[in-house]
Amino acid sequence: MVFSSILFLFRFMPAAFAIYYLVPKRFKNFTLLVLSLIFYSWGEAKYFPVMIASIVVDYTASGLIESHRDNKLICRLGLIYSVVFNLGMLGFFKYTNFFVGNLNALFGLSLPTISFVLPLGISFYTFQTMSYTIDVYLGKVKAERNIIDFGAFVVLFPQLIAGPIVRYTDINRELKERQINLPQIQDGIKLFILGLGSKVLIANNVGALWTEIEAIGAGEGFLSISTPLAWMAVFAYSLQIYFDFSGYSLMAIGLGKMLGFEFPKNFDFPYISRSFTEFWRRWHMTLGSWFREYLYIPLGGNRVSKSRLYFNLFVVWAATGFWHGASWNFIFWGLFFFVFLVIERMGFKQVLERHSAFSHVYVIFFLLLSWALFAVTDLGMLGDLFTRMFVPVGGVDWIYYLRNYIVVFILGTVLSTPALKGLYLRLEKNNVFCLVFFGAIFLASTAYLVDATYNPFLYFRF
């Protein structure tokens, strides 16, 4: 079940919130746990035991650590128990076939692959629960004694399948004591509708262009399209993935507010960045924070020699790429950013800071290349796409697509910047404006969902 669906909007969400608001305060976490498990199991009941196992393992591991603080060996065993389980589960479901395929290709073997559907959100909730056990081990937070409260944290449905990656330290107080009032619910509804509009009205519409060109690439090949169309398709994908993921994150944050939780911000207009260093402070902020806190700093961070620093960055960005998918293009995508981040650390960032226009062009140009690398998993097709992008071939095919998508291109470009933020913040205080504006977005999004069959969510495969 996804947020941008008629099933969620008009069945699950009204029923879930009605039940949640009506139950007494002492039963709210239990209600949230049950509702979240129903939400998760709706389309994938077979993975229900996996979710329960995740709750039980990290609950028992943290309890073991908390009750044996004076015994370092037992504490370490508790941490290893949690980390091995979480990474093992993630590795089995997400990366088994990747390693089997590469072993077969490398050594000429015929090892069988495993056929199964990747559990929804596994990359997100394994990192989330693993960070909790690590924080308990480091003494940053006390272990949760109430398994109902802990289970509610793990499976909290707004952020369960696509983030933001909410750490226990972000909401542990709210799990015990949270206030739910009308202004907070109103703010949550506004954020949810903005996220819904971003996902449905922008990401879905502009993404249709990339999907059509991708199909041409898989059939006739990317070499059959013109160079302007190749660049236009990659630009469409860059808008799709931003509004798709940021929109879904915004819906999650809005739903969290409606439940009484404050989730961390996940996007902050990343396309206005003037360096890749800045971009990764603005894009998927909770993932960047996770890798910095639990991988980069334990490796030594930047308080090491230059050679060690570059090694740390290499490990972090290879892991970041691999986290996104079990394919070489994702690893290359992560290392693509590693190269530019190293270049910027070596002094190029100072050049970018002195030349505003150049820095924006630099970021957008290479970001488009990175999204091409991210979008195409077949390396042969990727090579054809880059060939068409950089070996110019004319044509008129791009004119047809530009005529059909020019409006959503302009809208997506403007809304990916804070150009209208000030105006929105002023108008948002007017109740009549809110009623008309948010009502129109919700009605338009609903109409689209009722009529359309194209409603992908890119981060489901991660």
Where in the sequence numbering do the catalytic residues fall? 324
- Closest listed residue to residue 128, CA positions, set 74, 181, 85, 164: 164
Q: Got the DSSP string for 86-111?
A: HHHHHIIIIIHHHHHHHHHHHHT--P
Report CA-CA distances (Å) from 291 to 126, 311, 328.
Answer: 13, 15, 20
Q: Give the burial string for 153-191 (b: 16+ CB within 10 Å, else e).
A: bbbbbbbbbbbbbbbbebbbebbeebebeeebbebbbbb
Contact 251, 195 (CB under 8 A): yes
Count of positions (residues) in the chain = 462
- Which residues lie below 8 Å from residue 246, measured CB to CB, with a gap of 6+? 195, 198, 266, 267
- Token readout for 345 is 């650390």
- Which residues lie below 8 Å from residue 163, measured CB to CB, with a gap of 6+? 124, 249, 252, 266, 284, 286, 287, 459
Measured distance CA(214)–CA(438) in Å, rounded = 33
Three-class DSSP category at 428: coil
Secondary structure element (H or E) that encloses residue 165, with its range: none
Measured distance CA(129)–CA(83) in Å, rounded = 9
Measured distance CA(355)–CA(274) in Å, rounded = 9
Contact 65, 137 (CB under 8 A): yes
